[in-house]
């Protein structure tokens, strides 16, 4: 079990090759049988990872074309939903306005929005236990001898809630990602996509989607609740390796001066 940013980074980055295997998950192994880029090992994993990277490049990951695709996806979401938020919307109004679609180039000019998205991911902590690794050879780590094929759990929750790196680890506090002047600052302990050679391949795409979809929705809608806020239970539920949000209802209230192409009666 790896707990805390220093231990997780030391293993998954400092000894990346040794910790690059995928550990066993009893409830998943009989179904997937070590297949797929997430759960494969050895030569099979390396071939699948290379294929996945090439495929995502072909789809335009990180290029302008993928931005267009996500913008279209966000617009479809806005159309479907047409029938710390105020500050984000003020930043959206100031940087993007209501007459053009949010673009990835806007993110650098929207530090508070970027900080809110990062804090949502940090506090959301979707895979608290991380997906297990295994050592692919006999390995020495912090005075311990780990025989080949030892399963290792990098506890991502212990990193994302590490008080040495996050001032208020259990609170929603976008200031974790802002400096004294309000500029966005990176945090090494922000690792919802894990670290090392098994880092999530879709991180770049996911980050782009989160920014473009959230800003597209908040450009056009104000979010509300049919219930009083104090009556909403946001306690997460555990489902195997995942932490799931509870079900609750949201109201999407059209804003005046909606974005381009939005015709809301």
Q: How far apart are alpha carbons 2 and 214 in whole angstroms?
A: 33
**To the nearest 5 percent, what fractions of the chain are helix, strand and coil?**
40, 10, 45
| CATH number assigned to the domain comprising residue 118 | 1.10.630.10
Q: What is the pLDDT of residue 259?
A: 47
| Binding site, annotated residues for heme | 200
The CA-atom distances, in angstroms, between 28 and each of 32, 38, 43 are 6, 11, 20
Alpha carbon of residue 236 to chain centroid: 16
Predicted confidence (pLDDT) per residue in 199-233, tens digit: 888 888 889 999 999 999 999 988 888 887 777 77
Cα torsion 143, 144, 147, 149 to 10°: value is: -110
Percent of the chain past pLDDT 70, that is, above it, reads 75
Q: Is residue 265 part of a domain?
A: no
Residue 18 scores a pLDDT above 70: yes
Domain limits for position 174: 5-254
Q: Is residue 263 part of a domain?
A: no
Q: Is residue 23 part of a domain?
A: yes
pTM, entire model: 0.75
Q: Is residue 27 part of a domain?
A: yes
Q: Is residue 192 part of a domain?
A: yes
Q: Is residue 262 part of a domain?
A: no
Higher-confidence residue of 137 and 129: namely 137
Q: How many domains does the chain have?
A: 1
Task: Provide the pLDDT confidence category of residue 57 given band limits of 50, 70 and 90.
Answer: low
84-103 average pLDDT score: 88
Q: Is residue 261 part of a domain?
A: no
Q: Is residue 264 part of a domain?
A: no
Half-sphere exposure of 44 (CA within 13 A, CB side): 11
The CA-atom distances, in angstroms, between 85 and each of 60, 99, 103, 164 are 31, 20, 19, 28
Q: How far apart are alpha carbons 109 and 129 in whole angstroms?
A: 34
| Binding site, annotated residues | 200
Predicted confidence (pLDDT) per residue in 147-182, tens digit: 998 988 889 999 999 999 999 998 889 999 999 999
């Amino acid at each position: 079990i790896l707990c805390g940013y220093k231990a997780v980074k030391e293993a998954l980055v400092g000894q990346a090759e040794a910790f690059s295997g995928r550990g066993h998950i009893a409830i998943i192994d009989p179904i997937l049988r070590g297949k797929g880029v997430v759960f494969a090992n050895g030569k099979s994993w390396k071939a699948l990872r290379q294929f996945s990277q090439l495929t995502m490049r072909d789809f335009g990951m990180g290029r302008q074309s993928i931005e267009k695709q996500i913008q279209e996806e966000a617009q479809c979401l806005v159309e479907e939903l047409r029938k710390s938020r105020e500050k984000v919307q003020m930043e959206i109004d100031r940087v993007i306005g209501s007459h053009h679609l949010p673009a990835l180039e806007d993110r650098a000019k929207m530090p508070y929005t970027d900080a809110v998205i990062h804090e949502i991911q940090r506090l959301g902590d979707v895979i608290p236990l991380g997906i297990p690794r295994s050592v692919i050879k006999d390995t020495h780590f912090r005075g311990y001898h780990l025989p080949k094929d030892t399963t290792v759990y990098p506890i991502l929750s212990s990193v994302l809630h590490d008080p040495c790196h996050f001032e208020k680890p259990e609170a929603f506090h976008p200031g974790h990602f802002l400096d004294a002047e309000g500029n966005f600052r990176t945090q090494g302990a922000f690792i919802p996509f894990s670290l090392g050679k098994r880092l999530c391949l879709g991180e770049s795409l996911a980050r782009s989607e989160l920014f473009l979809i959230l800003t597209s929705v908040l450009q056009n809608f104000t979010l509300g609740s049919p219930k009083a806020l104090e009556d909403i239970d946001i306690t997460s539920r555990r489902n195997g390796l995942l932490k799931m949000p509870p079900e609750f209802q949201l109201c999407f209230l059209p804003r005046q001066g909606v974005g381009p192409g939005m015709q809301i009666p």
